[in-house]
Structure 1
Amino acid sequence: MKSLVIKFAQPLPLLLLLLLLPPKLQGNYWDYREYELDPEFYDLLREYESTGPTKPPTVKRIIEMITVGDQPLHEDNYCNTELKIKQIHYKGRCYKEHYIAGVPYGELTKACHGKRVKCKNGVKFCRRSMHLIEGVRCVLEEGQRMSNCTYKTILMTGYPVVTCQWDEEIKDFIPNHIYNMSLPK
């Protein structure tokens, strides 16, 4: 009778690590109830660990991601600073392109009632605002992970092309992502 032997590349360090962990740390280490993690931090950890779709962002997070921050849009380093401060990324990876509107969110919501237009990147449909706004296009120059992203800041004036989602609280559509800023003709 042959015995089944499972080989690991370096079993001893892994075994020692597991044996040295206190009983409370074995199992699901990131159980926020057990360790009283901040719920937002727990959501961030879950996003990094997951392989499936991410949890939809809150309205507060959407506003933070697509509207202007504290510094003026005209700064050359605007995208590098704002995207790091606001932690704008997808599971720790840099966005290749990101748009930020230079108007208050309430003004941007009008775009959800604009003209229906074709989208890019496989998105089914978008809405284009009927109003010109100033904004910033952040284009990735180098880097792959969030801490190493370097963006080029391009100041633009155009019609924001957005996707919208239903907001149950206000019973209306709200923009959740800016896909483009089409230039005036």
Structure 2
Amino acid sequence: MMKTLITTHALPLLLLLLQLLQPLQCLRIDDMSGVLEDIREEYAEYLEILYGTRPTRSPSIEKFKRLNIVDPLGRPFYDDHYCTDEMRANIIHSKFRCLQEHYFLTMQYEELKNICLNEFVPCKNGIKKCKMSTTLEGGLYCKLIEGTQMPECTYESCYKRGYVLITCRWHNETQEFIPESVNDIVTPPE
């Protein structure tokens, strides 16, 4: 009679099978030694946003530029997928949930920074904490039309020309007020 692998090595095979059927263990990576040096800060910021309980840090100058300023010569604004593509490419979200609306501006950062020196005006919600540009500026208004979680967010793109409303925050490193967020693009009455 010929013996098979199962009958001659039943116990080791049973132990191996039991070990293979164990549920996978998920590990939270707190050691960032494997993360590239140039993305450590961004990785730490995402962890803080996802798991933190305190308010998020104010945006840096470079982050504000990346999230809010676009090159008017790079891609035509009449492209219906502009907002959806830009929101995904720049990973713009709130704890991986889709934003209801977002603005991309075509103006230079220095021009935006100068708006922070203007007087306070009411924001879209009526609270008087915004600063408004004194000249008409161009920008792209992105409105959520579908989706709730990244990356399933789909946005409608609409080019607007008007006065830019922004909020500003004191920046300790440069000792000046810098743009924090874009609140609205107010179209002047015809």
Q: Which of the five TM-score ranges fits, normalised by the shorter chain? A: 0.7 to 0.9
Q: Could you give the per-residue CA deviations for residues 77-131 of structure 1, whole angstroms, max 9, x where no partner exists?
A: 1101111000010110111010111111112112212231112458661111111
Other-structure match for 1:155 = 159
| Identity over aligned pairs, percent | 34
Superposition deviation, residue 51 in structure 1: 4.2
Matched, 1:82 2:86: yes
Question: Unmatched 5+ residue regions in structure 1?
Answer: 1-15
Alignment partners' CA distance in 2, 1:136 and 1:57: 20
Give the total of aligned pairs. 162
Match of 1:56 among 55, 58, 64: 58
Other-structure match for 1:172 = 176
Question: Unmatched 5+ residue regions in structure 2?
Answer: 1-21
TM-score, scaled relative to structure 1: 0.77
Code of the aligned partner of 1:66: N
Give the CA RMSD over aligned residues: 2.3
TM-score, scaled relative to structure 2: 0.75
- Consecutive aligned runs of 4 or more in structure 1 exceeding 6 Å deviation: none
Alignment partners' CA distance in 1, 2:53 and 2:124: 24
Other-structure match for 1:12 = none
**Secondary structure in structure 1 of the residue aligned to 2:114:** helix
Alignment partners' CA distance in 2, 1:122 and 1:50: 30
Other-structure match for 1:42 = 44
